[in-house]
Amino acid sequence: MKVALVHDWLTGMRGGERCLEVFCELFPDADLFTLLHVPGSVAPAIEGRRVTTSFIQRLPGATRGYRRYLPLFPAAVRRLDLRGYDLILSSSHAVAKGVRVPPGALHVCYCFTPMRYVWDLYDEYFGARAGWLTRVAMPPVAAALRRWDRRTAAGVRHFVAISRFVAERIRRAYGRDADVIHPPVELARFHIDESPGDFYLVVSALTPYKRIDLAVEAANRLGRRLVVVGTGPEERRLRALAGPGVEFLGWRDDAEVADLFARCRALLFPTVEDFGITPLEAMAAGRPVIALGRGGALETVVPPGGVEPPTGLLFPRQTADDLIAAIRDFERDPDRFQPKALRRRAEAFDRPLFKERIRGYLHDRLAEHQRC
């Protein structure tokens, strides 16, 4: 059986690339197709295979500014030649699911979200903060991309969503049902520190929809120490907002991030996320989460008052006031959150379990396909 893996782009190791790494392990002989690859930016299991890129790779400044070529992404992914492959496994949050499927092939899409730029998060990317030319040009472009995105969903035989939240998005955008297999947390990377530090932690790309400005404002107003790990287009604005207690570290390697998780008071998670790996990483390190009670956080964070041991607090509205109230609530009784119980919660999402779930799912879908 000849297998093709398709991923939107390879520019760093984030949650999506950690899933792709597992797919590479499951199919060590599979070929990998992507719009763009920055060599050395992803794990050896990904770097070590044959990678075919699209014409986006050759465009000026693409390795850093590839998102400005968004209108060209559909044409680029449709030109990838997948003839001769029996199984196509795409991992998609933009256009990877839109590849041309050769006759007789089975296409399974592990979907992080329908194209977020033109569906749920259009205003965050192209609204008031965008330049005037972008605001004028994008509405017809976005409409065309939505039509393309909906139309090419027909080429996917099975959608697998990363959360129930994303499965509902897939139903709304494509009119399709999706199975749910949650992404993995690599439990072995994390350890519990019995004496956590005095700082709150954010680990995130610094993009508008992440709303890291709420964490910065909360830290400023409460006079609390906040450590921010990540980079992105919002960094300059966030630094301008930050008071003396907010520290920006940029990106850090896995070992440093794991140490920060173990030593923080709690992770602040003010975003509506498709799923969200960082709350589980905090739990794997025995640290609680203070999260917005929307999106994927509802599938991982266990608030107080239920049967299960609590793993964090959920605040209702995406405002600094609500985040501040949650931080104060946490500080009144931080001992509610027991490190070993938090780690047990993360164990349900451990990487080996994810690998077996994906393996079993694909085995069953291939068997069905071969019977047809």
pLDDT tens sequence for the chain (372 residues)? 999 999 999 998 888 999 999 999 999 999 999 999 999 999 999 999 999 999 999 999 998 888 889 899 999 999 999 999 999 999 999 999 999 999 999 999 999 999 877 767 655 665 556 666 666 667 788 888 899 999 999 999 999 999 999 999 999 999 999 999 999 999 999 999 978 889 999 999 898 889 999 999 999 999 999 999 999 889 999 999 999 999 999 989 999 999 999 999 999 999 999 998 999 999 999 999 999 999 999 999 999 988 999 999 999 999 999 999 999 999 999 999 999 999 999 999 999 999 999 999 999 999 999 887
Q: What is the rounded CA–CA span in Å between residue 200 and residue 187? A: 21
Q: Write down the pLDDT at residue 207.
A: 87
Residue where the block lists tokens 């782009």: 9
User: How many Cβ atoms are within 10 Å of 139's Cβ, its own excluded?
Assistant: 11
CB burial of residue 240 (10 Å; 0-12, 13-18, 19+): exposed
Q: Specify whether 358 is located in the same domain as 338.
A: no
Q: What is the rounded CA–CA span in Å between residue 335 and residue 241? A: 31
Could you list the beta-strand ranges (E) of the chain: 3-7, 31-34, 51-53, 87-92, 106-111, 158-161, 179-180, 199-203, 225-229, 246-250, 266-269, 289-292, 312-315
Q: Specify whether 86 is located in the same domain as 30.
A: yes
Q: Write down the pLDDT at residue 122.
A: 52
DSSP H stretches of helix in 119-163: 122-126, 132-152
Q: Specify whether 158 is located in the same domain as 53.
A: yes
Q: Which domain, by its residues, includes 249?
A: 187-347
Q: Write down the pLDDT at residue 163.
A: 97
89 within 8 A of 108, measured Cβ to Cβ:
yes
Q: Write down the pLDDT at residue 255.
A: 94
Q: What is the rounded CA–CA span in Å between residue 368 and residue 372? A: 7
Q: Specify whether 86 is located in the same domain as 143.
A: yes
DSSP letters, 292-359, are: ESSGGGGGT---TTSSSPP-EEEESSSSHHHHHHHHHHHHH-GGGS-HHHHHHHHHTTBHHHHHHHHH
Strand-by-strand arrangement of the 158-161 sheet: 51-53, 31-34, 3-7, 87-92, 106-111, 158-161, 179-180
Q: Specify whether 159 is located in the same domain as 201.
A: no
CATH assignment at residue 47: 3.40.50.2000
User: How many Cβ atoms are within 10 Å of 131's Cβ, its own excluded?
Assistant: 9
Q: Report phi then psi at 269, rounded to 5.
A: -140, 80
Q: CA nearest 232: which of 217, 214, 211?
A: 211
Q: Specify whether 297 is located in the same domain as 160.
A: no
Q: What is the rounded CA–CA span in Å between residue 92 and residue 11? A: 14
Q: What is the rounded CA–CA span in Å between residue 20 and residue 4? A: 12
Q: Write down the pLDDT at residue 141.
A: 80
With b meaning 16 or more CB within 10 Å and e meaning fewer, what string describes 262-281? bbbbbbbbbbbbbbbbbbbb
Q: Write down the pLDDT at residue 119.
A: 67
Q: Specify whether 202 is located in the same domain as 176.
A: no
Structurally, how many domains does the chain consist of? Answer: 2
257 within 8 A of 191, measured Cβ to Cβ:
no
Q: Specify whether 134 is located in the same domain as 217.
A: no
Q: Write down the pLDDT at residue 136.
A: 66
Q: Specify whether 126 is located in the same domain as 192.
A: no
Dmax (CA) of the chain: 64
CB burial of residue 370 (10 Å; 0-12, 13-18, 19+): exposed
Q: Specify whether 72 is located in the same domain as 212.
A: no
Instruction: State if pTM tops 0.85.
Output: yes
Q: Specify whether 228 is located in the same domain as 333.
A: yes
Give the β-pairing of 31-34 and 51-53: parallel
Q: Specify whether 322 is located in the same domain as 298.
A: yes
330 within 8 A of 308, measured Cβ to Cβ:
no
